[in-house]
Amino acid sequence: MTATPASGDVLDAQTTDRAVLARSGALEARLARTPAEIEAAQRLRYEVFYDEMGALPTPEMAARGLDFDRYDPVCDHLLVFDHEAGGAVVGCYRLLKRDVAEANGGFYSAGEYDLEPLLAGSPAGFKFLELGRSCVAKDYRSSVVMQFMWRGLITYLIRNEIDLMFGCASLPGIDPETMKLELAYMHHFHSVPPELPQVRALPARYVDMNLMAKDEINTQEALRELPPLVKGYIRFGTYIGNGAVIDHQFNTTDVFIYFPIARMDKRLRAFLTRQR
């Protein structure tokens, strides 16, 4: 059963544990402290991505029932725990800061997109955060739980003085024709404006998103068809990079999210970070 947060604070002002990002009722959002907690996130990711969405595991992943790669040991892992369910991990995000990425072989999304214009074209001292591997357990996919996970993320952004988030967000399926409305909508209405550094899918992986004329697009229908996470990014003010990428392992079509934190709607930010 889905836990329902009480009307608690994003984070109690007296809390000194820097791992804790948000608390509300039975739910707690915090950074993983132990390898066992990271493994719990990897198990949840396997259940969602492989068992539920049809991703293709390696033999080792299948044997262990875990989704993992070389980035997991160096990333921060934002986890949502339900303490009414024995502390089960019911949501997760993987977070990779620029300095950590540069010390450990780069960003995950560089395997799909050319990040050099973004990284080289931003002001000195600009702080980047790559988001990835986001998922929520099937029984917890309510807007309340998603918003709670975002509360924890915003606390992390503020503490780490992040200027821009980016990463790959996924639409289910690998046939762009079946999602041409959604892809064309993001291309025409949410592309990175020309005055900002441009991020384009790698040439060998580039899939054109301009699959419909702008005046043919029903924007409300397009929004309804988008996955909740991508829809949330759009509503928060994210831009979308140039071109989609087919990810055959995960059975998804990926788009690049490009999210200057200053663009976040002030009313929405106040709602997500309010203390009651």
- Identify the residue with better confidence: 9 or 32: 32
209 lies in some domain: yes
Q: Is the pLDDT of residue 86 over 60?
A: yes
Q: What is the pLDDT of residue 143?
A: 75
60 lies in some domain: yes
Q: What is the pLDDT of residue 121?
A: 82
Q: Is the pLDDT of residue 140 over 70?
A: yes
Residue with tokens 């917890």: 140
106 lies in some domain: yes
233 lies in some domain: yes
d(CA 74, CA 132): 13
Is there a contact between 77 and 32 (Cβ–Cβ < 8 Å)? yes
5 lies in some domain: no
Is there a contact between 89 and 37 (Cβ–Cβ < 8 Å)? yes
Q: Is the pLDDT of residue 276 over 90?
A: no
Q: What is the pLDDT of residue 122?
A: 81
8 lies in some domain: no
Four-residue CA torsion sign, 233, 235, 237, 238: positive
Considering only the C-alpha atoms of the chain, give the largest distance between any 2 of them, rounded to a whole number of Å. 53
243 lies in some domain: yes
Q: Tell me, what DSSP letter sits at residue 92?
A: E
270 lies in some domain: no
Give the mean pLDDT of 103-127: 92
Confidence of residue 266 (pLDDT cuts 50, 70, 90): low
Indicate the number of domains in the chain.
1
- Structural domain span for residue 150: 20-263
Our measurement of the distance from residue 144's CA atom to the centroid of its chain's CA atoms, rounded to an integer in Å, reads 17
Q: Is the pLDDT of residue 56 over 50?
A: yes
Q: What is the CATH number of the domain that holds 183?
A: 3.40.630.30
Among 12-26, 98-112, 130-144, the range scoring the smallest mean pLDDT is: 12-26
pTM here?
Answer: 0.88
